[in-house]
Amino acid sequence: MRFDLHTHHERCGHAYGRMEDYIEQALELGLDAVGISDHCPSFDDLQDHPTPRLKMAKSAFPEYVQEALRLKAKYQGRIEVLIGVESDIIAGRIEAYAKEYDRYPFDYIILVWLSGFLPLKFWSSLIITRSRSHSGRTLIVRSI
């Protein structure tokens, strides 16, 4: 199985192009699955969009998930589109993120924790399926 679970798009400021462009590219490359994993908003910040070149706005997050769900349905049977997010985690601020993620049907979340230990108890609906050696601090988890 060929796949890419780490993609960024225009919404989070890390890349150019729309989600659908990446799905079309994945089809052209013959991938079996592609994951949508824009950088999450700063849910622990009072501002809507404090870091425009690093993360998407909080107000853009529901639309992000809706677009991914729409494309997942549109491409069903042609390529598996997985819905995810890449999330920075800072110890002591994790509850604001967990509360938002529990609202949506994510297939996986890429966690990059920046300080302290990672209290996975906040994600009771998620299980770790694979760990990656990305500075030893990235996990890919999926919902159960």
Q: Is 86 among the residues that bind Zn ion (CB under 5 A)?
A: yes
Minimum separation from the CB atom of position 76 to Zn ion (A): 25
Locate tokens 């995810």: which residue? 84
Stretch that binds Zn ion, among 25-33, 72-80, 82-90, 97-105 (CB under 5 A): 82-90
Contacts of 120 (CB under 8 A, 6+ apart): 126, 128
Stretch that binds Zn ion, among 15-23, 41-49, 66-74, 78-86 (CB under 5 A): 78-86
Inter-residue contact 68 to 93 (CB < 8 Å): no
Q: Is 88 among the residues that bind Zn ion (CB under 5 A)?
A: no
Q: Is 38 among the residues that bind Zn ion (CB under 5 A)?
A: no
Inter-residue contact 86 to 6 (CB < 8 Å): yes
Inter-residue contact 78 to 101 (CB < 8 Å): no
Could you tell me how many residues of this chain bind Zn ion (CB under 5 A)? 1
Residues that bind Zn ion (CB under 5 A): 86
